[in-house]
Amino acid sequence: MRKLTCMRISAKMTILFSVIAACMIAVNSVLATLSEIQNILLYEEDNLNAMASKIVAAFEQNITVMGYALDGLKQDNDFMAALNTIYTLGEDMETTSEYHQAQNTLSAALFHEPLNDYFYRINVLTMDGFYLSSRYETIGLLENYSDELRTVMLRLPYLNERNRGLSQKTLVRPHIDPWFVARPISIYTLMSPAVYHGKQIGFVEVNALSTDLFDIFSSNDMAGFRATAYDADGRLFHRSFDDTIDYSAAEYGSMTECSDKNGDTYYVVKEHCSWLGFDIYAAQRTAVFESSIHSVILHHVLVSLLVLFIAEVFIILSSHQLSRSILRLTRKVSQLSDPAAIAERPLLPEEMPKVTNPRDVEMRELEDVFDKQVIELKTAMRNDAELRESNLRSRLNALQAQINPHFIYNTLNIISAKSMEAGNEEVIDICGKFAQMLRYSTDLRSKTATLQEEIAHVRNYLALAKARLEDRLEYTIDIPDAFSHLTLPKLSLQPIAENAISHGYQGSSGTIHITISGTVDEDGCLHLLICDDGCGFGEEILSHLREEFSHIEAGELTEPENTSAHIGLVNTYRRLFYFSRGAIRMRVRNDGGAVVELIETRTSEEEDDVHHSDRR
């Protein structure tokens, strides 16, 4: 009956959460799609407006610079005086020195005009047939005062209009260069009459290539972009090569939709160039936006379906698992409401019985937190007492370590001096090694040392032990270069070697063999072995050591009693384990004697971190 009830609850949860999830995903998808489409349209309108403003600014700047060139020449008194001389003398006086001097003055002014390099050419002319240009052409230019040149001048409407008394600058839409007949070149012109002392004596004009307009009215960043300009009289001034759009419906300040002769639609913005009186139209094909909109809709549909599918799977699994896990966890909590039940619980988290489904991550995490709290309640008082005892022991050790080593160094120096006088080299060597050991162990500048330094210290210790035991002690040290990077806490290896001599040959009068070696396995792990051929560890001691090691690896604050055997090994492992953050492990076994093995799996990057932290 309970299973049926759970299944019904699971089914209800599945249906309810599925409907809610589907509605939320659908609403969010529709809102997100509409919002993104609106953002695309707004972005496009802003982009077109910005492009139109950019074109207007670039076009106005271009025409303004052309006007600066015209004004600069017309305000040059020497230039205007020379043009008046040409106009006054006319064709009949063309060979006179005064005429040539005036012509040279005009040429110098045209060629040295600072803005000359920005345009195709700058021209000065009179209606009686005189023409001079800043651009020198060997062929193709019409000759001064020729009938052909006068005919061209009479056919140019803007010159004839200016000749009838108009005095403002005139911007002439793109046309074929009338002055150069070798090949057709499309230009646009800004011209102005040259008036000297109230009398019109000729014209000054600036010609620019029509390709400059295509550079101004085009965009390489916008696909399907078109731009068109109409002058103040509504006449077409410039349009893109394939632009056939009807702009009659375009309005200022808003984006409108227009179509061309082929039926293609465009989004258009209209910008007014107030200085020139021009209207600028910037357009882009609507197909570009429709493609983006279709991609957005397809993207949101696929994402919604994927999210809905994942949500359905998650809801079905969670509904079934959550109902069982909640019931089991509730029962477990109610059972542990009694303090006596808490006292019976194990201390290790992995030993606590789990009642939730491991696939139900949230409930398992909640159960883990509950188990940890139960364990913390039980272990808090004991850990606190052990910590206080450890602090007291550390203070006692610190007091004992405050003995001034200088007295010992002086005593060793006296012994060495006396031995040197007596010629006893062995005593001198013993004193030297003992002084090195003492200096190494009392050097407080660093708490860590390299394996090479540790081996040198152990080598001194074994040499002193051999001096005491003589032929009863033999030792071998063979450490490969792969161990050179290893960093250890100071005095990590001596307690292990000392333990081998002190406990490995109790009651034995035979020779003591100590071997310190290192190997690297196929996984790149370093193995440092300290071996002896003594009686080995007793089974009870071996079991006790392994239990202490497991406490250290579990992060417990327990410490062995001072009276326990091999306390030096336990304390050494504790220092190594916490120093390496668990990367160095100690293992003990019997193999023809006692074997203590240090296994180091730390990568080179982790080793560098340890070195850096030690330097800090």
* Structure confidence by residue, pLDDT tens digits, 311-344: 888 877 776 656 676 667 677 777 666 655 555 6
Nearest to 186 by CA among 204, 160, 213: 213
Is 475 within 8 Å of 514 (Cβ atoms)?
yes
Of 355, 377, 400, the domain-final residue: 400
Of 384, 400, 416, the domain-final residue: 400
Average pLDDT, integer, range 128-149: 77
Q: Is 392 among the domain residues?
A: yes
Query: Per the structure block, which two tokens stand in for 160?
Result: 């004839």
Q: What is the per-residue pLDDT across 209-244, written as a single tens digit (0 to 9) for each?
A: 988 888 888 887 778 788 899 988 888 888 877 788
pTM, rounded to two decimals? 0.46
CA pseudo-torsion sign 23, 28, 30, 31: positive
Give every strand in the sheet of 236-239, ordered side by side. 236-239, 225-230, 278-285, 265-273, 256-259
Q: What CATH number corresponds to the domain at position 192?
A: 3.30.450.20
Q: What is the per-residue pLDDT across 369-425, written as a single tens digit (0 to 9) for each?
A: 777 777 776 665 455 545 566 555 655 454 444 445 555 656 666 776 666 666 667
Is 378 within 8 Å of 342 (Cβ atoms)?
yes
- Residue 364 CA: distances (Å) to CA of 318, 367, 371: 13, 5, 10
Task: Give the structural domain span for 571.
Answer: 471-615
Query: Per the structure block, which two tokens stand in for 269?
Result: 């913005």
Domain match, 490 and 584 both = yes
How far apart (Å, rounded) are the C-alpha atoms in residues 497 and 607?
25
Using DSSP, state whether 228 is helix, strand or coil: strand
pLDDT above 80: residue 247: yes
Phi, psi of 185 (to 5 degrees): -130, 125
Domain match, 480 and 534 both = yes
How far apart (Å, rounded) are the C-alpha atoms in residues 171 and 183?
23
- Written as one string, the DSSP assignment of 429-459 is HHHHHHHHHHHHHH--S-SEEEHHHHHHHHH
Domain match, 202 and 265 both = yes
Domain match, 292 and 372 both = no
Q: How many domains does the chain have?
A: 3
How far apart (Å, rounded) are the C-alpha atoms in residues 482 and 487?
12
**Bridging pattern class, strands 278-285 and 265-273:** antiparallel
- CB count, 10 Å around CB of 552? 22
Amino acid identity, residue 291?
S
Domain match, 293 and 346 both = no
**Element of type H or E holding 392:** helix 361-400
Percentage of the chain lying above the pLDDT 70 cut: 78
pLDDT above 90: residue 208: yes
Domain match, 122 and 165 both = yes
CA–chain centroid gap for 100, Å, is 70
Phi, psi of 258 (to 5 degrees): -125, 165
Q: Is 233 among the domain residues?
A: yes
Query: Per the structure block, which two tokens stand in for 318?
Result: 């969670």
Q: Is 432 among the domain residues?
A: no
Length of the chain: 616
Task: Identify the residue with better confidence: 78 or 369.
Answer: 78
Average pLDDT, integer, range 15-29: 84
Domain match, 144 and 60 both = yes
Q: Is 515 among the domain residues?
A: yes
Q: Is 437 among the domain residues?
A: no
> Which residues on adjacent β-strands are paired with residue 141?
180
Q: How would you write 1-20 as a 3-class SS string?
A: CHHHHHHHHHHHHHHHHHHH
Percentage of the chain lying above the pLDDT 90 cut: 7
Q: Is 455 among the domain residues?
A: no
Angle between helices 361-400 and 286-335 (to 10 degrees): 70
Domain match, 277 and 373 both = no
Q: What is the per-residue pLDDT across 435-491, written as a single tens digit (0 to 9) for each?
A: 777 777 777 677 788 888 888 888 888 888 888 887 888 889 988 877 777 888 888
Q: Is 507 among the domain residues?
A: yes
Give me the torsion for CA of 124, 128, 129, 134, rounded to 10°: -10
Tokens 């057709």, residue?
184
Of 400, 418, 441, the domain-final residue: 400
CA–chain centroid gap for 165, Å, is 68
How far apart (Å, rounded) are the C-alpha atoms in residues 225 and 284?
4
> Which residues on adjacent β-strands are paired with residue 266?
258, 285
Tokens 């019109």, residue?
200
Q: What CATH number corresponds to the domain at position 550?
A: 3.30.565.10
Q: Is 452 among the domain residues?
A: no
Domain match, 292 and 340 both = no
Domain match, 280 and 360 both = no
Provide the pLDDT confidence category of residue 507 given band limits of 50, 70 and 90. Answer: low
Can you state the percent helix, strand and coil of the chain, rounding each to 5? 55, 20, 25
Domain match, 531 and 582 both = yes
Provide the pLDDT confidence category of residue 613 given band limits of 50, 70 and 90. Answer: very low
pLDDT above 80: residue 289: no
Domain match, 148 and 50 both = yes
Average pLDDT, integer, range 183-202: 89
CA–chain centroid gap for 178, Å, is 59
State the pLDDT at residue 206: 93
